[in-house]
Chain A
């Protein structure tokens, strides 16, 4: 899966240290805060669930 994440910004920043529990805990909480602040409430369904 590291190949898939190779272009991911957090993965590029932290590398495999991302898997360290403290780093991961921090990153997940940080992303959760971003989701809350920047997330949109406009359209919650996934397009491909229509198919």
Chain B
């Protein structure tokens, strides 16, 4: 009995300390300008919960809107916020029409009623070879999967492996906030999902590896061969099918929406996308969206090559220009 009492005492001390830290993280972990690079389902749920009872402008989309390659404060949507157009940037690397649809399900399922949904449509995501063509972000999948119909799930390739350990992991992550938001906590503390990345970055800068890697990965046209599939868009394309579902859902719910045809680097990709087929696909997307009463902002050819890091990610100057364009469109 003495041993049991001691054991319970020890467990109580451990649980109390962990609970205190848990509450501190729950309350104290600041909301960032955009989703973290490796955001958790727990963190996303927290962000979406925070929108309940408000009427935000919600932005959904991929790394182009997220501000890939730049710190959060230089991303277009953050600049837009600072210019007096508040918005909730829920875009992320790996976004795509299936992801946009899944995020809508999570938002609406949680009772969030945006006054405007802004999302981007990126032609490369209609390519079956694109990683986000029929795959959801793991954290989005975890929240949205139960809200999707069986036929919608059948179109997607689940990222979450099954098994007892994964199930257990999910249960613990949804109960224990500190553990569930560990990636987000580390990104807040260290600017990265792994603390050791900070040391790794320093070593690579010192050794010159960072410079060599950047030089080796300088975007060339050849690197993007095959990135854009110019097959005429149709419902048989999974990603386009989900774009149709996005349009239908927004129309059905009467939520105002603005679709941005993603800025694309025509200087770099000239030989692949300056074709009638590409233009036809842009038109198909536009017609679909407009038929559902969704506004379309065609920025596909709106930015010079000097505004890009690569095929579709804007640099700092590009993000400044994008913020200006969006401000004009949203005012």
Contact = CB atoms under 8 A, between A and B. Distances in A.
- A–B direct touch, CB within 8 Å, in complex? yes
Interface of A: 21-22, 24-26, 28-30, 32-33, 36-42
Nearest to B196: A40
A40 B200 CA distance: 13
Interface in B173-200: 178-179, 182-183, 185-186, 189, 193-196
Contacts, number: 52
B293 to A, nearest CB: 43
Given A25-B14, A40-B194, 11 more contacts: A21-B7, A22-B10, A25-B9, A25-B13, A26-B13, A29-B17, A32-B14, A33-B17, A36-B185, A37-B182, A39-B182
Given A21-B6, A40-B195, A28 B21 contact: no
B179 A37 contact: no
A22 B185 CA distance: 27
Contact of B194 (A26, A29, A36, A42): A42
30 contacts: A21-B7, A21-B10, A21-B13, A22-B9, A24-B10, A25-B9, A25-B11, A25-B13, A25-B14, A25-B17, A26-B13, A26-B17, A28-B14, A29-B13, A29-B15, A30-B17, A32-B14, A32-B18, A33-B18, A33-B178, A36-B185, A37-B182, A37-B185, A37-B186, A37-B189, A38-B195, A39-B182, A40-B194, A41-B193, A42-B194
Contacts of A37: 182, 185-186, 189, 195
